[in-house]
A and B are shown apart, each in its own frame.
Chain A
Amino acid sequence: DTAVSQTPKYLVTQMGNDKSIKCEQNLGHDTMYWYKQDSKKFLKIMFSYNNKELIINETVPNRFSPKSPDKAHLNLHINSLELGDSAVYFCASSPRPTIGQYFGPGTRLTVT
C-alpha cells in the first residue's frame, strides 16, 4: 500500500561508479520529482516531470539524468559518482505541480 516507493533504500558505492535509483507511485499523480537533502538537511529540488514531460531541471550536473518511462515511474541515473553526491535523495509525487506532494522514504547514497 506504499504510496511512493524508492529502491534501493541504501546505496554505498565508490567514486566513479554509475548507479540508478528507482521511484514508483501508485497514487495516480501526474507530477513527480527528485529532491536532494544534504547533510545539513537542506532539501532542494533537482527535477520535476509532469505527465512524463520534464518541467523543472535545476542547476544539476549533467551526470544526473532522470527518466520517466510512464506517469507512475521516475528513475534517476547518476554517472561518475563523486564524494559530494553523498546525500539522501527523495522522490515525490503530486496531483499537479507543487501542491500536495507525497514523499518517498528516501535513498541514502554514500560515495566512498
Chain B
Amino acid sequence: QKEVEQDPGPLSVPEGAIVSLNCTYSNSAFQYFMWYRQYSRKGPELLMYTYSSGNKEDGRFTAQVDKSSKYISLFIRDSQPSDSATYLCAMDRDDKIIFGKGTRLHILP
C-alpha cells in the first residue's frame, strides 16, 4: 500500500460548483498535511497546510483533516476556470514531504 493515495482524475466540474479533492494515507507518523496547486508547465504552489485534525479555511479553499480515518480533503467553493490545475496533497515525516500523485481538475465555463 502506498503511503499517500490520490485519485489522478481528471475531475471535470461546471463553473461555480463546489469541488472536493481527497487523499488517504497509511502512515500515522505524518504530522503536517499540505495542498499544492500546479498549473501546466509550472512549479507546485503551496495553497494551505494544517497540523491537526479539523478544518482550515482560506478564502474559497477549505482544508480538512481526519486523522482517525487517515483522510484529508480540499474543498473549493465557487470554482472558477482559473482553478483548473493539478492539485497535489502532501504530508511530512522525517523532514521530508511525501506527495500524492495529484488530481487533475477541469472547471468547465
Contact = CB atoms under 8 A, between A and B. Distances in A.
Nearest to A4: B43
B95 A90 contact: no
A106 B39 CA distance: 12
Interface stretch (B62-70, B72-80, B97-105): B97-105
A18 to B, nearest CB: 25
Give the interface SS of chain B, mostly helix, strand, loop or mixed.
strand
A96 to B, nearest CB: 9
Given A103-B44, A103-B45, A44 B99 contact: yes
B102 A41 contact: yes
A64 interface: no
Contacts of B86: 41
A58 B96 CA distance: 10
Given A56-B96, A98-B92, A99-B92, A105 B43 contact: yes
B89 to A, nearest CB: 11
A99 B49 contact: yes
A45 interface: yes
Given A48-B95, A98-B32, A41 B43 contact: no
Interface residues of A, number: 23
Contacts of B32: 98-99
A56 B34 CA distance: 20
A106 B49 CA distance: 22
B96 A98 contact: yes
A41 B32 CA distance: 22
- Counting from the closest, the 10 A-B pairs by CB-CB distance are A103-B43, A98-B92, A97-B95, A43-B99, A103-B44, A56-B96, A45-B96, A105-B43, A98-B97, A42-B101
26 contacts: A41-B86, A42-B99, A42-B102, A43-B44, A43-B102, A45-B97, A48-B96, A55-B95, A56-B95, A56-B96, A90-B43, A90-B44, A97-B96, A98-B96, A99-B32, A99-B34, A99-B92, A100-B46, A100-B49, A101-B46, A102-B46, A103-B43, A103-B44, A105-B43, A106-B41, A106-B42
